[in-house]
């Protein structure tokens, strides 16, 4: 996509500078089937964004595929992963901190039992909290609360 051209070139430059050209593949915009196929080929989903996202849709999609997640401790991610619950769907790292990101990745990948537990929790959280019906009901409740506050 034209909107991604500058970003893609930055990524390719960084990959070349780091000597990782043989380990980098740009998939571009992936359709639903492509996303399912990709999710089936990985052990975990990483969302290393420095932006504190309000929704985290890619994280919810990964969780619905049963993938544990590593994401920043910002925005919607702590809530999505159930960071304070006894069964979190993954690990958090300090936003924009590559050293802490590496720590979280190593911590999860070095513990197969924890990786599986996070995978099970991710799938469960996605199914419990992010079905179309549950999300629609939550939006309706929010709109009702806003209407009450406005009156």
Same domain, 70 and 26: no
In a domain, 126, yes or no: yes
Q: What predicted TM-score, i.e. pTM, was given to this entire model?
A: 0.86
- How many angstroms separate the CA atoms of 8 and 20, rounded? 15
Task: Give the pLDDT of the chain (151 residues) as one tens digit per residue.
Answer: 788 899 899 999 999 999 999 999 988 889 999 999 999 999 999 999 999 999 999 999 999 999 999 999 999 999 999 999 999 999 999 999 999 999 999 999 999 999 999 999 999 999 999 888 988 998 899 899 988 888 7
Phi, psi for residue 30 in degrees, rounded to 5: -105, 130
Give me the sign of the Cα torsion angle 66, 70, 76, 82.
Answer: positive
Number of domains in the chain: 2
Same domain, 116 and 63: yes
Same domain, 68 and 110: yes
Measured between alpha carbons, how far is residue 151 from residues 35, 64, 68, 124, 146 in Å? 44, 38, 42, 38, 9
User: 62 and 69 in contact (C-beta within 8 Å)?
Assistant: yes
Same domain, 17 and 50: no
CATH number assigned to the domain comprising residue 93: 3.40.50.2000
Q: Which domain holds residue 15?
A: 1-30
In a domain, 10, yes or no: yes
- How many angstroms separate the CA atoms of 60 and 141, rounded? 21
In a domain, 6, yes or no: yes
**Spatial CA neighbour of 89 closest among 111, 112, 43, 122:** 122
Same domain, 56 and 122: yes
In a domain, 35, yes or no: no
- How many angstroms separate the CA atoms of 66 and 52, rounded? 23
In this prediction, residue 105 carries a pLDDT of 98
**Spatial CA neighbour of 120 closest among 49, 58, 69:** 69
């Amino acid at each position: 996509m034209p909107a991604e051209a500058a970003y893609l070139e930055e990524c390719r430059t960084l990959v070349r500078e780091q000597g990782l050209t043989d380990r980098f593949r740009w998939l571009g915009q992936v359709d639903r089937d492509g996303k399912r196929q990709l999710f089936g080929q990985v052990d975990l989903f990483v969302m290393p964004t420095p932006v504190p996202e309000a929704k985290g849709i890619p994280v919810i999609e990964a969780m619905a595929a049963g993938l544990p997640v590593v994401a920043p401790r910002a925005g919607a991610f702590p809530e999505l992963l159930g960071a304070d619950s006894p069964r979190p769907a993954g690990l958090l790292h300090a936003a924009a901190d590559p050293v802490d990101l590496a720590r979280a990745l190593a911590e999860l990948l070095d513990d197969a039992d924890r990786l599986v537990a996070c995978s099970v929790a991710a799938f469960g959280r996605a199914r419990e909290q992010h079905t179309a019906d549950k999300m629609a009901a939550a939006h309706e409740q929010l709109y009702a609360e806003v209407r009450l506050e406005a009156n």
